[in-house]
Structure 1
Amino acid sequence: MSILKRVPWVSLALVLLSYSTLGWVISEAHPPVFVWLITVFAILLLIVTLTAPWPKMTYYILLKSNTRTFGVAVLAAFLFFIMIAWFQIFLDTLLIISATILVRIDFQRAGLREGLAFSTASIFSLGGLALGALIYNLIYSQIPLRL
């Protein structure tokens, strides 16, 4: 079977769309360059986290001490507060994470290598981010403002 037939195109299209909305939203705020760099780093970190094998992840995340358990509980409470306080941002973030997880599951089901899953998901995610920013800039740079 050809590798192009095994690639989950629908899931990749969902990732492209969800990350393009992120690029659009960030472009609306007109942030400095370091915000874009932090966003790219966070996207790559999310994809690495999802494409790494679970036994390696559990080795680093296991709660072996009371201090680490307390830190995780405080972090979880803080994240719950953020979820309630900024519900719209939470839903957008949940959509992006869900689309990325769907791609990971589809790549795993297709039996493709982790390196290929990471590189393809990274290309589509960062491409979607750039596409959203590009579309925003093309649309709003063409329309003159009339007050």
Structure 2
Amino acid sequence: MSILKKIPWFSLTLVLLSYSTLGWVIFEEKAHWYIWLITVVTILLSLICVTNPWLKLNQCFSILFKSNARTFGVTVLAALLFFLMIAWFRVFLDTLLILCATILAKIDFQSVGLKPALAFGCTFLCSLLGLALGAFLNQQI
């Protein structure tokens, strides 16, 4: 079977559309160039975390909860993040949409048996194209 038939086009379309909304919002705010750079680096790091199987969540949790002081710090940070989630609910929903679309694409790539490097490359390309498409459409409309 051709590799083009294996690629989950529907999931990648959802990734493209979700990141285009992010590009639209950032362009609408007339952000500086460094905000765009921070956004691209954040996208890159989040995709690395989602698509690479060698990052184990269990190891992260064991480091965070080794002592009572660390557990207390994580609890305070979680409470702060919960407050921010409630205070900026719209931003939280947009971030959740982007994260869910990315995870869906990763699951679809994994279910058809494609390599993690190809999944990362396609998802990263679609996310950057979506970011640029959102900014372009905001500029044109």
Over 3 Å counting, the alpha-carbon distance change for 1:114 and 1:68 in structure 2 is farther
Q: Which runs of 5+ in 1 are unaligned?
A: 140-147
TM-score by length of 1: 0.88
Q: Distance in 1 between matches of 2:11 and 2:129?
A: 14
Q: Distance in 1 between matches of 2:54 and 2:84?
A: 27
Which of 99, 103, 106 aligns to 1:104? It is 106
The letter of the residue matching 1:38 is I
Q: For the aligned residues, what is the CA RMSD?
A: 1.4
TM-score by length of 2: 0.91
% same residue: 60
C-alpha offsets along residues 6-65 of structure 1, whole Å, 9 cap, x if unaligned? 110000000000000100010000011111111111111111110121664433442333
| Higher alpha-carbon Rg | 1
Aligned to 1:135: 137
Q: CA shift at 1:5, angstroms? A: 1.0
Count the aligned residue pairs. Answer: 139
Aligned to 2:76: 74
Q: Distance in 2 between matches of 1:20 and 1:109?
A: 25
The letter of the residue matching 1:7 is I
Over 3 Å counting, the alpha-carbon distance change for 1:93 and 1:85 in structure 2 is same
Q: Distance in 1 between matches of 2:54 and 2:73?
A: 21
Q: Which runs of 5+ in 2 are unaligned?
A: none
